[in-house]
Amino acid sequence: MKHIALKTIIITTILLLMPLSTASAEDADVFTVTADKTYVTAGDEVTFTVYLTQSGTLSSFEGKLYTTPNLEYVPNSATIAADAGEIMGFGDNISWTESTLFFNGYGDTAYTGSEKVKLLTFKCVVKEDALAGEQGISLMSPVTGDADFQAKEVTVEPAYITIAVEEDIVPGGTAVKPEETDTVTEETDASSETTEEAAAEANEIEEPSTETEEEGSGETDSENLEETEDLEKTEVTKEDSATSSASEATKATETTEEKEESSPLKVVIIITLLILVMVAIVLFGKRKNNDNDET
């Protein structure tokens, strides 16, 4: 009796876990859109790239570009990746339609790789009347098909850029994150105050000799050089900070996706435990009845 109960538990557990493993390995494709810039201003040109990562088998795909009202597609800027057809085995069957911003591809033999394949690139320009804030660039009606050309589950990871307002632009025309603007402004004001104080002191001092003027000129040039180097270091620090923020956001997204993927497994484990408890109760009841019958 104990052996039969043990076999029942093992078979039940296997049957419960099999659908989960099959669903995670098949029919889960992801289109990813990336941008070569994070912070932009009106008139800036941004290059976007579309990638596809598939799971299981893939015989076809399609999608249409979607941009926000603040961005304008640059005509004839879309280009199919040169090696996409070779990697996927689709040959020349990957195409782009300029009039509808539509792309698609198919192959006679299903692609079984799982690497992130670059499909195409395209460019957009930030409109002059664009509103400030974060903008998402994604795909419309994405579709992928398996070896039998049956529709698969597919998702899109959009690219996000931030359009900076006028006060977020530092001298030189570089757009920075809003929280960094105050720091840059304070440094610029401090530099201006130092220059004004130096000029006032120079007016109070009597006219120096030619030799003294040359020394003072050399010191001023040195100070200006140091200020320029400090400003360059500040800009580099901001770029590193922006890169770090983007990296942290990516890690947070990956963590959220991992949590969502683990939810079905938790449900299966709970169901399995409930079944085990029910089997134990049934076995205990049968054993008690057998003892009563023997008595």
Lowest mean pLDDT: which of 52-66, 106-120, 260-274? 260-274
pLDDT at 13: 52
Same domain? For 49 and 125 the reply is yes
Q: What is the mean pLDDT of residues 116-128?
A: 97
Q: What is the mean pLDDT of residues 97-107?
A: 96
pTM confidence score: 0.53
- Residue 40's nearest CA partner among 126, 152, 99 is 126
pLDDT > 60? residue 129:
yes
pLDDT > 50? residue 59:
yes
What count of Cα atoms within 13 Å lies in the side-chain half-sphere of residue 100? 11
pLDDT > 90? residue 201:
no
Q: Are strands 117-126 and 45-53 parallel, antiparallel or unpaired?
A: antiparallel
Same domain? For 130 and 199 the reply is no
Q: What are 112's two structure tokens?
A: 């079984």
In the chain, the percentage of residues whose pLDDT exceeds 90 is 45
pLDDT at 208: 47
Same domain? For 130 and 204 the reply is no
**Residue 287 located in a structural domain:** no
Per the structure, the complete domain to which residue 236 belongs is given by 178-240
Is 170:41 a contact under the CB 8 Å cutoff? Answer: no
Same domain? For 93 and 128 the reply is yes
**Residue 48 located in a structural domain:** yes
Q: Which residue has the higher pLDDT, 19 or 77?
A: 77
**Residue 84 located in a structural domain:** yes
pLDDT > 70? residue 198:
no
Tally the domains of the chain.
2
